[in-house]
Structure 1
């Protein structure tokens, strides 16, 4: 690795040169597997990062020895993106140099967690997301679930009293959610949902955003959403929005997002932020986007929230084009017009129609 012309020019090439196997996960808006071939093209700046978050690519690289699958390491990396959503080549090259140097300097010469020592591109996920990642990674590696899984499963299946929910470990809940398609777990969850304590439901919902709830579970969650919209509990609404955010049926997603946007809850920062960061695909529908922009302009998050949330959405090219088009709507409210002016300066003029 010492000769300049033999240095790997990408993370995948670096790992391939050591014989390590690799799986890549997106850790930004939600946790999901990123196909290796797509990641290679993203690394080479041939494709924009599909789900940018805070103008960065948030990644988890699961690395292991193919001959010893239990010998694995995880790198959590965040890389800046340019205006086109491409990984900045200078940052990628700097990361590679740091990794290679740390491997050279290490005692064992391995690509383990120590290779990220003092690395400005590394990050540590918060505890709940770490649990969700470990659950997904264990399943991907065909490893057993944690020791907490069986107790969580027993509680969901009614084999433990409802009031024993406080004895459940978060890792056990994460393992259960990532295995909803096994051992009738999804059916057990559907049966438990109506009687589930609020604390458990609001803990489960961020885990559910990393899955695609099937039809029965989707309906069970929707059955909880309407009563939440009728009640004075925006935290519950925000939680259910996260749980439903990754459903595959886009028209159904647009309908329930619109119902949330037509409620007073949409003016609460926790609700409008979830819609912006987890349900962004629903905003591709102009009617939904229009309702979103109006609630954002009138919302409790104020001008700061309006500007920050839109700056995040407008980093994605398709959303940017649709938002700029919506800004031209002559029927927009004076509050929205004022918020747009504050964000871009009073001299802002939307581009003319083509």
Structure 2
């Protein structure tokens, strides 16, 4: 029993007990560093996970041996959250027990990637996210970029012809985007944007959502978004919304999101989904939220899309409160009233005062 009690009861303790160094990345709505102290509090169910997606916390744990930094492993983990957005303790305990058992059973006795074997809490990121993660992790570890970086950088800087873009590796593009503040990369990107082939732009935008654009890059992207709103390419609009979504100026974000919601693309499933999942902070402004709800109710995603998107937003406490308030707005349209009724059952009748 006493031996049992000495076993680590958290991921942080488990990894510290092996002598490993670690860094944590949030892999939820976008990829970003998660300070270790904050992760400890999230893991202990003291703080809600900041960016819940599909009611789960999505994490990457980068583990390395301080004496041999090139020997590293990555654990991609997802943990269920309760209604307050807190990590479910039973799931965390189950995960830690499985990891301990696998580390004990492994030949090395170290927390390598084999420790995730047959683990129901592990996941594999899609290609674009994996490339972005590797590029960001290399930068954080002060390791060199991938061998594809220099060619991609040369293309952005005009040292290769515009038509040579098919020869660029996706990982190289990710490396450039994750190092925008180095070697003139941001300036090169801004200068390339106006002439950039559509295929490259739509490939870059999901990478840009993990970066906070500078004022100059933000303006360059807006100059592409505005004409796109009057054209017929909804994919381009959705992609540019992703690229702009991590901008720090919330008033500016509310402004361009409102313009997208006033455009003919607002009812397209991909566009409205990007606004809900990447630009959710703009929806904290009640007027933006009201317009969003009206377009969602009329959208191509139908009732299923309406219900799914709102279930995701309502998982965040502040959004939930604002949504419930918006549902009670007596000026809501018949289409929105009907969609709300379908989602909650016809019994959802909002009190008119209180």
* TM-score, length-scaled by structure 2: 0.99
Distance 2:110 2:352 in 1: 56
- 1:9 positional shift: 1.0
CA distance in 2, matches of 1:294, 1:178: 36
Name the structure 1 match of 2:149: 149
Cα distance, 1:350 vs structure 2: 3.0
Q: Which runs of 5+ in 2 are unaligned?
A: none
Question: Structure 1 2/108 Cα, relative in aligned 2: closer, same or farther at 3 Å?
Answer: farther
Question: After superposition, what is the alpha-carbon deviation per residue over 1:118-148, rounded to whole angstroms, capped at 9, x for unaligned?
Answer: 0000000111110000000000000000000
Match of 1:245 in 2: 245
Which deviations, in whole Å up to 9, do the C-alpha atoms of 1:57-81 show, x marking residues without a partner?
A: 0000000111111111000000000
Query: Within the alignment, does 1:216 sit opposite 2:221 as a pair?
Result: no
Aligned mates of 2:248, 2:28 — CA distance in 1 = 19
Q: How far did residue 168 of structure 1 move?
A: 0.3
Work out the number of aligned pairs and report it.
354
Partner of 1:174: 174
**Do 2:209 and 2:245's aligned partners in 1 also have CA atoms closer than 8 Å?**
yes
Runs of 4+ in 1 over 6 A off after TM superposition: none
**SS at 1:51's partner residue?**
coil
Aligned equivalents of 2:187, 2:139: Cα separation in 1 = 20
| 1:15-164 to 2 correspondences below 5 Å | 15-164=15-164
Query: In structure 1, how many angstroms separate the alpha carbons of the residues matched to 2:90 and 2:336?
Result: 38
**Counterpart contact for 2:230–2:264, Cα < 8 Å:** no
Q: How many angstroms apart in 1 are the aligned matches of 2:120 and 2:40?
A: 22
1:349 Cα deviation (Å)?
2.2
Offset, 1:232: 0.5
- Residue 138 of structure 1 aligns to a residue whose secondary structure is helix
Change (3 A) 1:124 1:2: farther
Q: Does structure 2 retain, via aligned residues, the 8 Å contact 1:283–1:289? A: yes
Per-residue CA shift, 1:3-39, capped at 9, x if unaligned?
2110111100111111111100011111111111000
Contact 1:245/1:253 (CA < 8 Å) preserved in 2? yes
Aligned to 1:287: 287
Question: 2:322 maps to what in 1?
Answer: 322
- Counterpart CA distance in 2 for 1:42 and 1:92 is 11
**Structure 1 residue 264, shift from structure 2 partner:** 1.4
3-state SS in 2 of match to 1:75: strand
Q: Which secondary structure does the structure 2 equivalent of 1:220 belong to? A: helix
Deviation per residue, 1:212-243 (Å, 9 max, x gap): 01011000000000110010010000000000
TM-score, normalization by structure 1: 0.99
Q: Secondary structure at the match of 2:266?
A: helix
Q: Distance in 2 between matches of 1:184 and 1:147?
A: 19
CA RMSD of aligned residues (A): 1.1
Provide Cα deviations, 1:310-332, integer angstroms capped at 9, x if missing partner. 00000000000000001111111
Measure the CA separation in 1 of the matches of 2:195 and 2:110.
50
